[in-house]
Amino acid sequence: MPGSTYGKCFKITTWGESHGKAIGVVIDGCPAGLTLCEEDIQIFLDRRKPGQNKYSTPRKEADQVDILSGIFEGKTTGTPISCIVYNKTARSQDYSQIASYYRPGHADYTFDAKYGFRDYRGGGRTSGRETIGRVAAGAIASKILNELGIRLCAYTRAIGPVEITHLDLDEIPKNPLYMPDFQAAEQAQKYLDEKLAEHNSAGGIIECCITGLFPGIGEPVFDKLDARLAQAILSIGAVKGFEIGDGFHAARLSGSENNDSFYADNGQIKKRTNHSGGVLGGLSDGSPIIFRAAVKPTPSIARNQQTVSKNMENIQINIKGRHDPVIVPRAVVVVESMAALTVLDLLLENMSARMDGIKRYYQSFNELPEFSC
């Protein structure tokens, strides 16, 4: 069954393979009247563009986006927005060897098991390039959220064992690892240099913070805000864990330690702490949403590995091709995009939650010329 569609109100469908002609996304359900141009999307795509430093794949791709529909005179029309990025430097010959065996840590075997065969060139559909569509859509979602006063900020919390010790948001774009901590970024680069020297790879942790979100967003019981975020984040290749607020640490706390006290401050409700990560009962509680994603080390490593060929022989391989020694920095914008898509979707879903809201919404129709026949 289809799995390339995400969202109910703001629905995206991604398509494309690493070494096919192009990669793209169709966004259906984007509200009409949003000012939008390619540059709005390009800014996001540039954050995940490869080849920008030694910690990402040397494959050079401009990843220039073209909008093919859904915009008229600079504004969204409410009809599907089709975005396309052409693959310019596909070098399929690099991958011909992969066809014959199953790379450890990759989806080669599982795709063969499911579909009978696979487009093995650069990982085909399982390539990180699939996320181009997500990021293009996430850029649009983020723009809408910004207009509502909601902001998202994702960054690298850890690379391998190196974790940030404080949060300096200004630092994020200044280092190639998108870490909000200058010292940690330095250490992490040293750690990565070691891994590069060993022909090895690293993982890490991405954190994302969402501010300005109204309370009450999320749909009980299966479409809780945190449940949908979890699906969104785990749907990113290489993500192996998700936690919100105190997450796994909360499992060790007592109730009196973990509960966030409410208090009133000048007629406003506030919380003294945010162990919950901004979600209570699956609904946003008005405080910042904070969640983390665990990213495994890149499975493609240029050192000898044991595996099995398609005709069931035990073999030794050494993976060639262009790969990222760590995908965490480039995945930061993917995490942020998936969060934006999720929050926007639930924000739109929430609009039919209350009779008073529905009435208020449709009363505005009185402003339209009335109609009778």
Residue ranges for the known binding site for FMN are: 125-127, 281, 296-300, 322
Minimum CB distance to its own copies smaller for 23 or for 340: 23
The answer to whether residue 4 forms part of the interface with its own copies (CB under 8 A) is yes
Print burial letters for 20-41: b (CB count within 10 Å at least 16), e (below 16).
beebbbbbbbbeeebebeeebb
- Residue from 151, 223, 321, 322 touching its own copies (CB under 8 A): that is 223
Q: Nearest distance from residue 109's CB to its own copies, in Å?
A: 6
Q: Does 174 bind its own copies (CB under 8 A)?
A: no
The verdict on 70 binding its own copies (CB under 8 A) reads yes
- Please list every residue from 306 through 325 that binds its own copies, using CB under 8 A: 306-308, 312-314
Least Å distance, CB 47 to its own copies, is: 20
Q: From the CB of 190, what's the least distance to its own copies, in Å?
A: 14
Cβ burial 293-319 (10 Å sphere, 16+ → b, else e): bbbbbbbbbbeebebeeeeeeeeebeb
Our finding on whether 169 is near its own copies (CB under 8 A) is: no
| 193 scored as a contact of its own copies (CB under 8 A) | no
How far is it, in rounded angstroms, from Cα 361 to Cα 356? 9
User: CB of residue 184 vs its own copies: minimum separation in angstroms?
Assistant: 14
Exposed/middle/buried for 191, CB within 10 Å: 0-12, 13-18, 19+? middle
- The answer to whether 89 contacts its own copies (rule: CB under 8 A) is no
Cβ-based burial of 274 (10 A; exposed 0-12, middle 13-18, buried ≥19): middle
What token pair was written down for 189?
A: 């680069």
Considering only residues 101 to 140 of the shown chain, the ones binding its own copies according to CB under 8 A are 102, 104-107, 109-111, 113-119, 121, 124-126, 130
* Residue 246 sits in the site that holds its own copies (CB under 8 A): yes
Nearest distance, CB of residue 249 and its own copies, angstroms: 8
Does 37 help bind its own copies (rule: CB under 8 A)?
no
Residue 359 as a binder of its own copies (CB under 8 A): the answer is yes
Q: How far apart are CA 189 and CA 328, in angstroms?
A: 12
Q: Judged by CB, which is closer to its own copies: 59, or 118?
A: 118
Distance of CA 127 to the CA centre of its chain: 14
* Annotated binding-site ranges: 48, 54, 125-127, 281, 296-300, 322
Between 53 and 352, name the residue whose CB sits nearer to its own copies. 352
CA dist 132 → 15, 17, 40, 154, 348 (Å): 10, 11, 14, 17, 24
- HEC sequence for 89-155: CCCHHHHHHHHHECCCCCCHHHHHHHHCCCCCHHHHHHCHHHHHHHHHHHHHHHHHHHHCCCEEEEE
| By CB under 8 A, residue 335 contacts its own copies | no
**Shorter beta-carbon distance to its own copies: residue 58 or 149:** 149
Distance of CA 266 to the CA centre of its chain: 37
Q: Which is nearer to its own copies, 171 or 226 (CB)?
A: 226
Options 8, 51, 153, 182; binder of its own copies; rule CB under 8 A: 8
| CB neighbour list of residue 51: distance below 8 Å, 6 or more residues apart | 57, 58, 59, 60, 61
Identified binder of its own copies from the candidate list 57, 224, 329, 340, rule CB under 8 A: 224
Phi, then psi, of 248 in degrees rounded to 5 = -60, -30
* CA 232, chain centre distance (Å): 7
By beta-carbon proximity to its own copies, the closer residue of 49 and 129 is 129
72 binds its own copies (CB under 8 A): yes
